[in-house]
Amino acid sequence: MKRGAALFADGAGRYAYVSAGFSWPAFFLGPLWAVAKRRWYLLVLMLAMELCLWFGSQLAEGLQREPLVLLMGCMELSYLLARGWYGNRWLEASLRQRGYAPVLPGA
């Protein structure tokens, strides 16, 4: 197991493994990652954010304002990076809320 990774268990004997560090699946897949992890509130939040960014990008392109298009591109990149940086933390927090507790060191 990687350094800083953790294994979580709940009272019913179900286990979940959470890696430490950057989450490449969350970075590249976003909402599909949330579905695969069965984190429905994350899915709703990600879809809402992506919808807002999509509308903002469409507005920026429609207005033909280059600084606004650049700003929207930076916002989309920032959102992708935030998903990657915080994906595993969000997963761990949701597991703890659902009654999972760390089993192995690193949590």
The pTM for the full model equals 0.79
> What pLDDT score does 36 carry?
92
pLDDT by 10s per residue, the chain, length 107:
566 788 899 888 888 888 888 999 999 999 999 999 888 989 999 999 999 999 999 998 898 888 899 999 999 999 999 999 999 999 999 999 988 998 865 54
Beta bridge partners of 101: 9
Helices 40-63/66-97 angle, 10° precision? 180
Q: What is the pLDDT of residue 15?
A: 87
